[in-house]
Amino acid sequence: MKSGKLQRLKCSVKNYDWGRPGRDSQVARLFALNSGSQFEPEKPYAELWMGTHDSGPSYLVSSGENGVLVGSETVTLKSWLSKNPNVLGEKVLEKWGCDLPFLLKVLSVAKALSIQAHPDKELARTLHKLQPDVYKDGNHKPEMALAITEFEALCGFISLEELKAVIHAVPEIVELVGTEGANLVLRINDKDGEETVKPVLRAVFTQLMSASKDKVTEVIDRLKNRLHTESRVRQLTSKEQLVLLLEKQYPADVGVISAFFLNHVKLNPGEALYLGANEPHAYISGECVECMATSDNVVRAGLTPKYRDVQTLCSMLTYKQGSPEILRGVRLNPYVTRYLPPFDEFEVDCCILPRGETVVFPAIPGPSIFLVTAGEGTMNPGSPKGQVVTEGDVLFAAANTEISVTSASELHLYRTGVNSKFFQAQ
């Protein structure tokens, strides 16, 4: 395998049960185009992974006879990088070693993902050491979701004011956290600082998440009946409607009721949400491009049939309150918008190139992954002849490579690379 400046990749897919059925899933469509295979219309397709993580590696594709692309399942991007470390660029090699620091995904969400948080580096190392079968690597996992369609999520704790309102309005929460817990919240003065509020929120949320299965089943049943009755005489709030939807997806799951504690965020296409370490969240519906540090560490505590680690989750959270920041991106030129989360490992560019136009991605000191989600065009890494790219193509670009892209039809592509602020700070 020669070390070209642009390498085509064949990527891995995940069929988690929350994914959208093949006929209705971007992930399925992109995966089928990427791998030259068919998708199953009824099977869930949840995530397409583009990167080097061992749980879902990408493989190099070489040109076969007559230009037909063949996958070489033996050469992973990771093993190729280990033989061609120069393509990562010096600064990336120095900081992260011989691997991609970021992992790019597309998500197609039909039903809610688990309520989860991702550990910081220190906790990740500890968890991986103690339970390597559950926590697969020792890395942290900051992440960012950039909406392709309307995208809904639960993210971070609601404000103190909202929390007090919820305690008044939802008697079932008081049943789970106890009158004493509820009163602790209600008695907090609005002028009290974080150091007063956080321990109370932690105690109350931990109490809620640790309630017995029987109690939770009983209380959620009561909540459901009450909301159905009240819906005949009043309009339910959007949070109440969400709670009923989650109950249908995950009956008798404590995650249903914990949704009352979290911000319900609705992203429009082109808006992004980022999550630092130890922030609770759950994606609910829609399709997005997701970027993260190369890690698969997830601590789950609700809305899941998978393993739950309630104690770890409740003790790791920051208990920061208030609405999360929504990124709308920075225009780099008429066709490219950049999303810069506050993490060194990654940034994402979204490019929409009208038919017949050309745009240049300047040379940068780190590697990039490109994903084409619609249209057709040519990518030219400075060599005499460019590569034709179409929907479903994924390409790795070496550091210090200028790439010009020309579209044959309106072309939609995403690029992810190391955060440009990381290079500026060097």
Please, what is the angle between helix 213-230 and helix 171-187, to 10°?
100
Residue 130 CB-density burial (10 A; 0-12 exposed, 13-18 middle, 19+ buried): exposed
| H-run or E-run covering 60 | strand 59-63
> Can you read off the two tokens belonging to residue 43?
């099977």
User: What is the set of active-site residues?
Assistant: 300
C-beta separation of 153 from 281 below 8 A:
yes
Give dist(CA 368, CA 387) in Å, integer: 16
Closest to 10 (Cα-Cα) out of 40, 51, 46: 51
C-beta separation of 373 from 338 below 8 A:
no
> What's the CA dihedral at 270, 365, 385, 105 to 10 degrees?
-40
Three-state SS at 330: strand
C-beta separation of 119 from 129 below 8 A:
no
Q: What is the DSSP string of 219-277?
A: HHHHHHHHHHHHTTTSPPPHHHHHHHHHHHHSTT-HHHHHGGGEEEEEEPTT-EEEE-T
